[in-house]
Structures are given as structure tokens and as C-alpha cells.
Chains A and B, each alone.
Chain A
Amino acid sequence: MADQRPTTPERAERPRVARAAAKAAANGNGAAEDPRDKMLTTQLKKVRYRADALIEVLHAVQDIYGYLDPVQLRRVATELQLPPSRVLGVATFYHLFTFEPKGDHTCTVCTGTACFVKGADELIAAVEREFGVPEGQTRADNALSLLQARCVGACGLAPVALVDGVVVGKATSESLRKAIDTVGVAPADAAGGAA
């Protein structure tokens, strides 16, 4: 709350030093540069390294790397000149941020009120049963993650699920199974009862 908007030139200058240091450290490790790091740099420039853009930056990290890993969180803290505790505090506060990589495919079942009333729990149970993946987790062979969403805003079509981001409206256990099949996830028995 007390944070003033960092618009003064001194404040904008300082991160550069820190960035140079971070870069030198990365090069010192002798690791080949990850192209994704550059993508994040672009995003950081876009928000002009403003501390109040922390949430946007965390979204960018998750879009680029798939999840928030500690190395990137540390980099974000350095670049935005924030204490690491602040970055971790914000990252853990919001539900959409995840600290574990997702599977190759994701099935997200909406559990908003309309979907709840129309049997979202049966959909979750069906996917758990048929694909052998517990809710909130990723199958051992990394093929499928099963997640819940708090309302995707398509209540007129409840119950709703998303398979790799594509909405399946008025879903039934059968139509959802088919949609997951279509993206190429084998059912549990075929995958050797994984997870």
C-alpha cells in the first residue's frame, strides 16, 4: 500500500545494475542461454520493470515456462527490486499461479454454482475413474492433469469442462471422455493404470 509509483528516473535506473549482475551470474554458470529467458526479458521491458506490475510479470513467467519455478521467482524479485518474500507472497496468494509443471494435456472441470447444480462432481469422478488421474494432480506418465476451475463464465451451457483450453459445453461423462480421447490421452487401463 505504501508503495509509491516508481516513476522517478533514479528508480528506473537502478534495476539495470542488478540485471547486469544477474546476467553475469548466469553466464558464469556456463549454461547455454535459454530462449525463454529472453522472452521474459521482453515482457519485463514491456512493463518497464515496474514493481506494481508484479502480477503481470508472474503471469508472463507462467505463460513462458508453464509454471513458477524458484529460479524465475528469484529473477523476478531482482529485476523488479522487490524482496523475494513479497514475490513469493503474491505468487502463493492467487489461485491461478502454479508451482508445478502441468501434464501434456489438461482437463479442467468447472465447479461454479451452475455446473455444481448440474453435476460437475460426476464429471470429475468420471475422468478420475477412466483416465486414472486424481483431481488436482497429474498422471504419472505426465499425459493428463485434472484440475478444477471456479466458473469459466459459460453457465448457460453448464456443466462445462475445458480440454486443453477448448470448452466442452453441456458436458456428459461420455462427451468429456471423447474430448480427452481426441487430444490423444489414453484411458487408464491402456496407460497401464498409471498414477
Chain B
Amino acid sequence: MSTPDLFDIAQKEAEAQGSFARTVLCCGSTACMTSGAQAARDAIDEVVAANALEGEVRVVSTGCMGLCSRGPLVKVRRRGEDEVLYADVDGDAARVIAEQHVVAGTPVEQGQLSLDHPFFARQERVVLEHLGEHDPNRIEDYILRGGYKALERAVTEMTPEAVVDVVLKSGLRGRGGGGYPAGNKWALLAKAPGDGKSVIANGDEGDPGAYMDRTIMEDDPHRVLEGLALCAYATGATQGFIYVRAEYPVAVRRLEQAIRQAKRNKVLGKSVFGTAFAFDVEIRIGAGAFVCGEETALMASIMGGRGTPVLRPPYPTERGLWGRPSLIQNVETLANVPTILNRGAEWFASIGTEKSRGTKVFALAGKLENTGLIEVPMGITLREIVEDIGGGVADGKPFKAAQTGGPSGGCIPAEHLDTSMDYESLQALGSIMGSGGLIVMDDEVKMPEVARFFMQFCMDESCGKCLPCRAGTYELHKLLVKVCAGEGTASDLDRLESLCEVVRDNSLCGLGQTAPNPVLSTLRYFRDEYEALVVPAAAPPATAADGASAQDGRA
């Protein structure tokens, strides 16, 4: 048999899994492993072995279940009964759960977490649908859940144009931050003349405070591969690259393994599903450079060079890797594609808002009760995320601001908690959707310090190619240090603001253009904090008036 029979593989896997009456799903994500998930898994395995139940109980280490702050998480399923989720499962708790619930059949009260908990109930999982359910190490588990069906249907029944059309109609936009319509990019590459086209999955998640792409690559690597293969088929590309941060070794390992499995099953390689479509994927590893998230810098890095961006146009779809047409798409964007093909553009377009369709994965972190990875329909309000899903600010403290978009984004203050989380609304507030980092701050956090933190990051990460960014971020950082130390003057704040505009308007790439955002947005909403820090000037009334008018002008 030369072409893979997905139905056959799925059926065998279903039979194999169906022979177990009980299933224990242990979260094996990085966060839970850190909290001691291995000890939990070992204890469960031990109890199962001691009771000679290996043929009855299936124990699986799954991908991220989401609620990282309450890990390690363990789910117990017994045929014909409701599943039970346990939180904070250390080795001892796992032993008790295994003995009482898995073996004897009586759920344990301690550590039980309701699945109706708003953290879970308010989410809508598309990209993360398999996480916490399947074993990311096995292609069979992915196929069982409908994996590679979209690719098979596309290459055997659909024309490339039809695939592009579905993505266009779905309204899918880039999830890396910019929000450029994916379908438009695909259409551009498809139309670009010449061969040797490549498609690149951008897994260089540089935003310090975000780990969506990491989790997708680690816990559902085949979904990324399928999305990339669909993109290649639609655009006429034959080579794919996945650019992964070197800080994510597990993601690299899982993706490499997934590529091997996919090739062995002939869903990738010289003849995908026995058709004339040939597609190969290589992994490229970064080496720690935030600027490599910018597409031209990323391509320079794939070609083994310094990750310095170049002016666009020409866009990568005209002149990309090795001078040939290329396309770069964020990992999360690609991960949406198989589901869009399976369930249809109309279905996808029905989620979210008019201009921001579908869901968005956020890494919810900072001073919240519940932190972790969430996927919500776009258009949900920030309040729902913070208060319902996040469980409110930790220790009952007041909410001060949420930061989205990392070093390129901005803060959203309490008065805008009812903002809809979509590309345009966030931009209107001076922030951006970004890649999905969402960090909540309470009243202990000082906003000028936050601005200084991000500016230091951008200064360190500036590639040095263009002056406005290289020298501008340095000068901005120096000013912010001065202000934070209480040594600044009111005129420093004005300089800060005007320099921000210079850097924003004159930098070559997105890094420099967006670096001032955290400063401008904290100045816009928390100017009083800056003003409280600066040394009063000789003529206080005039300075105060200046400050107030500047604030009105910006708000």
C-alpha cells in the first residue's frame, strides 16, 4: 500500500484505545512537569502495575490542559461515568487518586476541579482542541482525532485555488501580531512566478511572557505540519521550514519526531497521499534574537546569517529565501488551517467579530488567580478574561492594567476593561493584539518601571542596523532609568515623548517602530505616575498645564 489509509489507522487506534475501560490523562506539559507531573505519573503507573491493571487502564501523558497555575493536572475517565479533573496532584495525591478512583471507582474529593469552572467553560478551543486529550508523541492519536484528513481531501479532491479560497473566505488573520489576512498572503505566493517556493512557520516566539506557540508546537506538532503542508499545497511551495527558538528544545524534539512519523506514513515527502504533490519540511533553530520574529530577519537567520531585517518591498512573496518567493506564517495561524478546511470557512467566520474572525490563544500570566493558556473567541471582553477566566486579580487586589503584545504592545487600564479583544479595538487603545501574551498587573506594579523593562528589552534586542532604533532605544532607556530613579525633570518627559515619535516613525522594521508603544501607552494612561517621579521644575504651574494638555491630546 503506497498511500496512507487514514481511516484504517484511525480505526486501529480507536480499537486499541477502546479496549481500555479506564483512562488516566496526566498533563505532561512543561509547566506541569515543572510542578512535579512526573512524580504523579510514576505513582499512577505504580498503582496500576501493583493491581495488574495494565490491560484495563490506559495512562497517557498529554499536552497542556491549560490551567498551569494549578498543575500538575490529572483527568480520570471511567467508561460510563463523568470524567473528573484533579488539580495540584503531587505524588502522594496521585497515589490516592489511583487507588481510590482509578482502581476502586470512588472519586476523591480532595483537589477536584469542576469542568464547569469558568476557566474551562468560557473558552472555545479550536487550535488547542486536542491539548490535554491526546499523546503528542503519536501520529496515530492525531489521525484518530481527524488529523491529516484536511490535507488528504485537499490534495486529492481540491485545487490549490480552492484551498486559498477557503482560507480567504474564512477571514483568518495572522496570529503573530500584525493581523495581515492569511488568505491574501497565500494568494500572493500562489500567483508569484518561479519555482522553488518555500513556506515558513514562524515559531520564534520572542515576546517575553508568551508561550502559545511553544505549547502548540510541543503538544500538537502534527497540526502545525498539516497546516504548513496545506499552505504549501495551496501556494505551490515544495519546501517548508519551521523556525523554532533554541529556548524550546522540547518543541524541536517533538517536531522532528512528528516529521519522521509523517514521512513514514507518507503524509509528507515525495508523494503526499500518493499524489504528485511533494513537500518536505526542515526545522531551523534560532539562537536567541527577538528581531528574528520579523520576517526578513527570520529569513536571513534561516540562511545562516545575522538576523538583520531588510526593507520591504520586495515582500518575501516576491523575493524571499534564496531570492525565491516565500511566505511566513505564525505557528498559531497555520494551526487554525486544518480545522478551517474540515469545518468550512463559514463555520470559522461565525466565531469572533466582523473583522477579527476565529479564536485567539492567550498566555494568561501575571497577578491573577488562574494563570495558564486559554483560547477564546475574539471579541470577548478583557473583563471576561480577567474576572471570569482568570478568576480576578490574586489576593483580592485591585486590577491596574493588562499588558498585551509584549515589548511591541501597550497597557490597557481598568477603565477600558470592557474593551473587545480584537485587532482594531486593541490598536485604538494604543496596544496591539500581539502574539498573545496577556499579563495582568495589580497596584503594586509601577508603570514607568514596566516601560523601562520593555525598553531595556528592545535596546538589548535592537539589531543595530538602523540608527533610529539602535540609538533611539538606548537614549529612551537612559531617559527612563533617569525618570524611574526620581532624577528626571518635566522636560525629560517631553523629550521622552518626542523621541518615541522619532523612533516609531523612522525605524526600519517592526521592532523599532513598535518599541515606543509601551512608553507611549503608559504615558497616555498613567502619566500621573511619571509626573510624580519627576523633579518639579522651576515654574510648576506652567509645567502642570503642559502635561495636562499633552495628556488630553493623546487620550
Which residues of A pack against B, CB within 8 Å? 1-5, 50-56, 58-59, 86, 89-90, 93-97, 111-114, 116-118, 149-158, 160, 167-169
- Interface check B417, CB cutoff 8 A: no
Chain A residues with Cβ under 8 A from B303's Cβ? 1, 3, 52
A157 close to B246 (CB less than 8 A): no
A83 to chain B, nearest CB (A): 12
B34 close to A113 (CB less than 8 A): no
Chain A residues with Cβ under 8 A from B60's Cβ? none
CB within 8 Å for A95 and B288 given contacts A5-B322, A153-B248: yes
Contact flags (1/0) for B366-384 with A, using CB distance below 8 Å? 1100011100000000000
B69 close to A156 (CB less than 8 A): yes
B435 to chain A, nearest CB (A): 12
A99 to chain B, nearest CB (A): 13
Query: Which stretch, B137-145, B181-189, B207-215, B495-503, touches the partner chain A?
Result: B207-215
CB within 8 Å for A113 and B403 given contacts A150-B290, A151-B207, A157-B68: yes
The 3 closest A-B pairs by CB, nearest first: A156-B68, A113-B209, A112-B208
Set A3, A86, A94: member contacting B322, Cβ < 8 A: A3
Taking residues whose C-beta sits less than 8 angstroms from the other chain, chain B's interface range is: 35 or more
A96 close to B288 (CB less than 8 A): yes
B388 to chain A, nearest CB (A): 17
6 additional A-B pairs beyond A54-B304, A86-B305, beta carbons within 8 Å, are: A95-B460, A111-B208, A151-B210, A154-B31, A155-B209, A157-B34
- A–B pairs, 30, beta carbons within 8 Å: A1-B305, A1-B323, A3-B305, A3-B322, A5-B322, A54-B304, A55-B287, A56-B284, A59-B246, A59-B285, A90-B305, A94-B288, A95-B287, A97-B287, A113-B406, A113-B437, A114-B209, A114-B365, A117-B367, A117-B441, A149-B247, A150-B206, A150-B288, A154-B30, A154-B31, A154-B34, A155-B439, A156-B31, A156-B373, A158-B366
| Closest B residue to A155 using CB positions | B365
Chain A residues with Cβ under 8 A from B214's Cβ? 153
B287 close to A94 (CB less than 8 A): yes
Chain A residues with Cβ under 8 A from B363's Cβ? 155-156
A55 close to B247 (CB less than 8 A): no
Chain B residues with Cβ under 8 A from A56's Cβ? 284-285
A118 close to B367 (CB less than 8 A): yes
Chain B residues with Cβ under 8 A from A112's Cβ? 208-209
Q: How far is the CA of A169 from the CA of B70 in the complex (A)?
A: 12
Chain A residues with Cβ under 8 A from B210's Cβ? 151, 153, 155
Q: How far is the CA of A167 from the CA of B211 in the complex (A)?
A: 15
- Interface check B307, CB cutoff 8 A: yes
Chain A residues with Cβ under 8 A from B285's Cβ? 55-56, 59
Contact flags (1/0) for B295-307 with A, using CB distance below 8 Å? 0000011111111
B208 close to A150 (CB less than 8 A): yes
- Interface check B286, CB cutoff 8 A: yes
| Closest B residue to A90 using CB positions | B306
Chain B residues with Cβ under 8 A from A155's Cβ? 68, 209-211, 363, 365, 371, 437, 439
Chain B residues with Cβ under 8 A from A53's Cβ? 304
Chain B residues with Cβ under 8 A from A86's Cβ? 305
B450 to chain A, nearest CB (A): 8
- Interface check B158, CB cutoff 8 A: no
Chain B residues with Cβ under 8 A from A149's Cβ? 247
Chain B residues with Cβ under 8 A from A97's Cβ? 287-288
Q: How far is the CA of A178 from the CA of B460 in the complex (A)?
A: 31
B31 close to A169 (CB less than 8 A): yes
A59 close to B287 (CB less than 8 A): yes
B433 to chain A, nearest CB (A): 16
B31 to chain A, nearest CB (A): 5
Set B208, B302, B306: member contacting A93, Cβ < 8 A: B306
Q: How far is the CA of A20 from the CA of B242 in the complex (A)?
A: 34
Set A58, A118, A154, A167: member contacting B366, Cβ < 8 A: A118
Chain A residues with Cβ under 8 A from B453's Cβ? 113, 116
- Interface check B457, CB cutoff 8 A: yes
Q: How far is the CA of A3 from the CA of B299 in the complex (A)?
A: 12
| Closest A residue to B464 using CB positions | A93
Residues of B305-330 whose CB lies within 8 A of A: 305-308, 310, 322-323
Chain B residues with Cβ under 8 A from A167's Cβ? 30, 33-34
Contact flags (1/0) for B424-439 with A, using CB distance below 8 Å? 0000000000000101
